[in-house]
Amino acid sequence: MNYFTIIGWLGVLLFVVSYLLLSLGKLKAEKPTYHWLNFLGALCLVINAVAIKDNPTIVVNTIWGLIAIFTVFKNLRV
């Protein structure tokens, strides 16, 4: 297993944990922690996807990460 695969699995873990904590009511979608977990998960999956040249995964996770980071900064201004 190479470093890019490990980073990809870390991204999966971050996505799953963030969604699990949201579903269990331990995180709120309005809180930055949820969005930071999503951003970091997306970043990890983009790194992995670039390494294996998986363009659809690059696109969807780039968009996902941008939405997450946009929401963090939008909520900071409120």
35 sits in which H/E element: helix 32-52
- Torsion angles phi and psi, residue 64, rounded to 5: -60, -45
pLDDT at residue 25, as a whole number: 97
**3 burial type by CB count under 10 A (0-12 exposed, 13-18 middle, 19+ buried):** exposed
pLDDT at residue 75, as a whole number: 86
Model confidence pLDDT, tens digit, residues 6-64: 999 999 999 999 999 999 999 999 899 999 999 999 999 999 999 999 999 999 999 99
pLDDT at residue 77, as a whole number: 84
pLDDT at residue 78, as a whole number: 66
* Residue matched to tokens 């780039």: 62
pLDDT at residue 76, as a whole number: 84
CB-CB contact of 9 with 32 (8 Å):
no
